[in-house]
Structure 1
Amino acid sequence: MSIRVIIADDDENVRHILRLYLRQIKDVELIAEAADGKELLNFVFKMKPDVVLTDIKMPDMSGLDVAKIIREADETLSLIFITSYNEYMSEAFNVYATDYIQKPIQKKRLFKTLEYIKNMKSKVQLIDFSTTSGQILINSNDILFIESVKRQRIIHTFTQKYCTYESLNSIEDRLNKEYFIRTHRSFIVNIKKVKEVVLYCRSSRKILFRNYEECALLSKRYEQDFRNKIMITATYNLKLTI
């Protein structure tokens, strides 16, 4: 499965090097090059890439500022920062960067990161649900959490909710256990979408999601499993108040 890439750097020599490197990787398509932040932002919203390789300090708008705007609109796009500065690493991972590569560009590391992104994209899972609106295919990566409410299960995505009468256990069996975990007798959560876990009451915690108002619950029974899963798979700056 191929990935579409945009590169951004105000230094033409750096763009040239990246161009040469990307040509050496199978199933990677360079779709645009930007020399400043505003140009990058325009390209991203117009061309919808899978990956952005960007410098941090650029004219008009920094790579970090662009990333913050992008992340508000698209939380699945992969961001890779390529920069001469190490002091922005914390800010980079606050916008959920996939990697932070310092110049001079480490070719092997860049290749490894892009291969990782390709592999993750190839694992996208479409799941067929029988909902109250009919049969629907849902990309598992779009699912934030599944909630059991009385006789129905509510599938929460960023854009829509879907209702099904399928049991929570049955849904859990069909989901990728690398990313989906039971956090409560009434909730299954996609840990890639979790922003923060906060105190709620003695017996449970609230699980908050990026750019989504509703929350899931984490009960004491599932707390240790949740901690273990986060430690194994999370690569972002997750706040745990548990």
Structure 2
Amino acid sequence: MHIIICEDDEAQALVLKKYFHEYQSTHPSDSISFFSSGEELLQSIDRNPTIHFAFLDIELPGISGLELADILRKRYPHLLIIFITNHPEYISTAFKLHPDQYLLKPIQSQNLFAVMKSLQHEYFHSHIQYVENERRLITIAYSEIIYAEFYQNKLFVHSLSGDYTLEIEPKEMKQTLLDKGLIRTHQGFYVNPVHIKSIELDTVICSDQSQIPISHRARRNLIQQYTEKYATMFFHS
């Protein structure tokens, strides 16, 4: 997991470095990057594009924390953003950018760790975390899954961020996909209703034009679940 902190106040940056050093002692696999300006941060993420959490001081020189959050949100829709500020009155302005949390200065370690615990819980429940060959960590947001297909003990995931093949226990993951809002269309096939373009007689057409089969048995349930959430659906028979 990659965490970035953008804080121009040297004293506060030192405090945060101390807290995150303590945090890393129990989370050694997480990487943490500190920046003193938005410009420096943006230059760096072009070289290291994966970010999971961003702690942003609202009052930064040059690009403000609010402007920086807007840029990052567009680039990383699922990024969790935490604003840092001396001024509680700025919070209402920041809310239009949908921050996930905020911290008031001077930051206390217990407040920081409570925020991290809460957001990690949210993150892990909204993403598949899979370690491939004991080396590469694959992270897939459930919301980005277009469809998933089970074959024997493997899960093929077709998502907005790419295609993945995971060796995974099918029974538990099938229930997880249903709990996350995907709908079963056929033996082994699950579709994300957010990415459905149309429902044909025996095929779902997805937003990227990929096609997945519909069994006669599953079609009624698929249409019922879809229409409960998306009343503007156009069906073809």
Give the TM-score normalised by the residue count of structure 1.
0.59
CA distances 1:75-134 after superposition (whole Å, capped 9, x unpaired): 11111111112223234332221101111113222212211232233332367327xxxx
**How many angstroms apart in 2 are the aligned matches of 1:10 and 1:109?**
20
2:20 corresponds to which letter in structure 1?
L
More off after superposition, 35-44 vs 118-127: 118-127
The Cα shift of 1:163 comes to 2.6
The Cα shift of 1:69 comes to 0.8
Larger RCO (CA under 8 A, 6+ residues apart): 1
Aligned counterpart, 1:186: 226
- Aligned residues, how many? 176
Aligned counterpart, 1:33: 34
**How many angstroms apart in 2 are the aligned matches of 1:169 and 1:72?**
40
The Cα shift of 1:31 comes to 3.0
Pairing 1:71-82 to 2, within 5 Å after superposition: 71-82=73-84
Greater C-alpha Rg: 2
Q: Which runs of 5+ in 2 are unaligned?
A: 129-139, 141-146, 160-176, 181-191
1:136 aligns with 2:156: yes
Pairing 1:69-148 to 2, within 5 Å after superposition: 69-123=71-125, 124-125=127-128, 128-129=148-149, 136-138=156-158, 145-147=194-196
Aligned counterpart, 2:7: 9
The Cα shift of 1:61 comes to 0.5
Aligned counterpart, 1:193: none
- Change beyond 3 A, Cα 1:169–1:85: farther
- Change beyond 3 A, Cα 1:36–1:163: same
- Change beyond 3 A, Cα 1:22–1:162: farther
Identity %: 23
Q: Quick one: which of 163, 181, 204 aligns to 1:153?
A: 204
**How many angstroms apart in 2 are the aligned matches of 1:59 and 1:86?**
19
1:128 corresponds to which letter in structure 2?
A
Q: Which of the pair is proportionally richer in helix?
A: 2
Aligned-residue RMSD, C-alpha: 3.6
More off after superposition, 161-170 vs 31-40: 161-170
